Structure 1
Amino acid sequence: MATGFYTHPDCVRHEMGEWHPECPERLRAIEDQLIAGRIDGLLERREAPLADESSLLRVHTPEHVAYVRDSVPATGYFPLDPDTVLNPHSYRAALRAAGAAVAATDAVLQGELDNAFCSVRPPGHHATPTRAMGFCLFNNVAIAAHHALEVHGLSRVAIVDFDVHHGNGTEAAFSNDPRVFMCGIFQHPFYPFSGFDHPAPNMHNIPLAARTSGMAAREAIDFGWLGQLDAFRPEMIFFSAGFDAHREDDLGGLGLTEADFAWITEKVKAIAMRHAKGRIVSCLEGGYNLSALGRSVVAHLKVLADI
């Protein structure tokens, strides 16, 4: 078997204006670094399908899905909020992003792939059941996790979010759900200013101060939620893989490097090997310095694929 790599050209057609950091060039930068790192031919490429509405509705309300769908402009842009904008291709791109996460979950659970990475956009972890925000339309990881639970019948899944921003939408989708263990790191205080105040018992967040180094982040994870993740014995693990905690990324203020993302991946993969037959699906979230993003994804993929 192999590591799957899901993407689609529709994900590049979504754009929110030349000023916007969540840009199509992000996916092109990843592709360039796959070639530069000589791992592009070592992954099993798969085309992201369109998610069906039933998958979206496991997380989002019908009103939210309809609002995003019906707000897509025929030309130009439509702002859902100051940071989250639709163009004529955005809804289809969002369906590809969610569809990649669902298809990757199917392929991993059916034994076709060891694990998978979804190189898709728009990202998802800020999208709540009722609201698009923070560059996100639909919550790709939450949709995939619900699919694993409700379609495949898993009892316990874990979500590891290492984006510089707290995954408030994912937390809203699973707060107090004993089937889901969500853990992660994020900068605090920072957008969306959540995740630090009285989280639900199944939420294990580590807020980090600006300028926290990669070594300090590793220590916080090691003495924080890593043992609890192991004790949860997840049957599958999902990554919300945001790389904007990289020290070169101007949208955040943390000090991680590619080596730190690889370390997190190694530690979590070891737990997946013990309890989940190695089953991991990783979905791209943030990462806005193009060079750092591409290099970090390669480091993440090298661990997933044992390269």
Structure 2
Amino acid sequence: MTTLLITHPSSLRHETPPGHPERPDRLRAVEAALEDERFSSLIRESAALGTLDQVTLCHPRDFAEAILAASPESGLVQVDADTLMSPGTVDAALHGVGGAAQAVDEVMTGRVANAFSAMRPPGHHAESVKAMGFCFFNNAAIAARYAQRRHGAERVAILDWDVHHGNGTQEIFWDDASVLYASTHEMPLYPGTGAASERGQHGTIVNAPLHAGDGSEVFREAMETALLPRIAAFRPDLIVISAGFDAHWRDPLANLNLKEPDFAWATQKLMEIADRSCAGRIVSILEGGYDLQGLSRSAAAHVMALMRG
């Protein structure tokens, strides 16, 4: 069984101000960790440039075109309080979209068992018509919809274990019975959504909020009682992971206490469901994680699990 790693140097050209947590060093840390000899069997590809048609699977064309048009020739443009564009942002965001679609292509056609698209900026806060929370285009949502439109997947499950709730993914699929969105996250915390009572029009939104100070035991219980059974019962044709690693105990933007083995465990549990439901098909997409050591070690544990290591 083979695992694909998708990266692209454009991710490093999305610049943010000094001290901003979503910085190019995040990708450098992940890439350095995955250069270890333990990962020598990874298949490695450069992300394709995403297309406007791919973006508009989840975002209206006028919104997508407005993002492209806002690209500065120099300096930084502020989109919201913590989301900024540099001259390299659009290229990075489009390669993130392209990498997500490429991962779906490779997995759905059986060329690889699973894939990890390690790109930035992240995407799960991006709503259909709103860039926010460091995010411009919702890569995980686009991956799910692309799998449906391009490869005929009837049902796609998205599991989001980023410490911040994926309000964008929830909003995009709120009234869509064909996509299950399941999330564990800290509350109260940015962006303020993700209560257990938020279930969507068809009951296909599943939120399991955690509290500041919660660690491995509470996280695993939430996964095993609230999220994993729902994903298994949904019998998806593909599982997409919004793989944020900011629930790690070292992360400066949150207050959960997960450790690297927790991400490996969650990955293995999803792989068990995928093996039963969809021939093992998993596409994982990097989201948050802002302590470089916690991020790199957690991403490495996640990818090692995908490799069935």
Q: State the TM bucket, normalised to the shorter chain.
A: over 0.9
Cα pair 2:39 2:304 within 8 Å, conserved: no
The 3-state SS of whatever aligns with 1:35 is coil
* Alignment-derived partner of residue 25 in structure 2: 25
Number of residues paired by the alignment? 306
* Alignment-derived partner of residue 207 in structure 1: 209
- The structural deviation recorded for 1:203 is 0.5
The 3-state SS of whatever aligns with 1:237 is strand
Cα pair 2:198 2:205 within 8 Å, conserved: no
2:283 to 281, 284, 302: 281
* Alignment-derived partner of residue 126 in structure 2: 127
Query: Where does 1:1-307 land on structure 2 (aligned, <5 Å)?
Result: 1-36=1-36, 38-196=37-195, 197-200=197-200, 201-307=203-309
- The structural deviation recorded for 1:226 is 1.3
Structure 1 distance, partners of 2:168, 2:40, is 34
The 3-state SS of whatever aligns with 2:254 is coil
The 3-state SS of whatever aligns with 2:295 is helix
Structure 2 distance, partners of 1:53, 1:148, is 16
Cα pair 2:214 2:256 within 8 Å, conserved: yes
Structure 2 distance, partners of 1:39, 1:71, is 41
- The structural deviation recorded for 1:176 is 2.2
- Which AA in structure 1 matches 2:253? L
Cα pair 2:48 2:102 within 8 Å, conserved: yes
The unaligned stretches of length 5 or more in structure 2 are: none
- Which AA in structure 2 matches 1:125? H
Q: 1:33-89 CA deviation, whole Å, 9 max, x = no partner?
A: 1234x3331210001001111010010011211111111110000010111000001
Structure 2 distance, partners of 1:154, 1:96, is 23
- Which AA in structure 2 matches 1:249? D
Q: Percent identity?
A: 44
The unaligned stretches of length 5 or more in structure 1 are: none
- Which AA in structure 1 matches 2:187? H
The 3-state SS of whatever aligns with 2:208 is strand
> Which stretches of structure 1, 4 residues or longer, exceed 4 Å deviation after superposition?
none
- The structural deviation recorded for 1:262 is 0.7
Structure 2 distance, partners of 1:242, 1:180, is 20
Q: 1:141-196 CA deviation, whole Å, 9 max, x = no partner?
A: 10110001111111111000000000000011111211111112000011000021
- The structural deviation recorded for 1:229 is 1.0
Cα pair 2:162 2:244 within 8 Å, conserved: yes
Q: Mean Cα displacement is larger for which, 197-206 or 2-11? A: 197-206
The 3-state SS of whatever aligns with 2:135 is coil
- The structural deviation recorded for 1:216 is 1.2
- The structural deviation recorded for 1:241 is 0.1
Q: 1:213-236 CA deviation, whole Å, 9 max, x = no partner?
A: 111110121111211111111110
Structure 2 distance, partners of 1:198, 1:90, is 32
- Distance change in 2, residues 1:212/1:72 (3 Å): same
Structure 1 distance, partners of 2:267, 2:227, is 14
RMSD: 0.9
- Which AA in structure 2 matches 1:287? G
- Which AA in structure 1 matches 2:61? P
Structure 2 distance, partners of 1:73, 1:184, is 34
The 3-state SS of whatever aligns with 2:34 is helix
The 3-state SS of whatever aligns with 2:84 is strand
**Length-normalised TM-score, structure 1:** 0.98
- The structural deviation recorded for 1:106 is 0.4
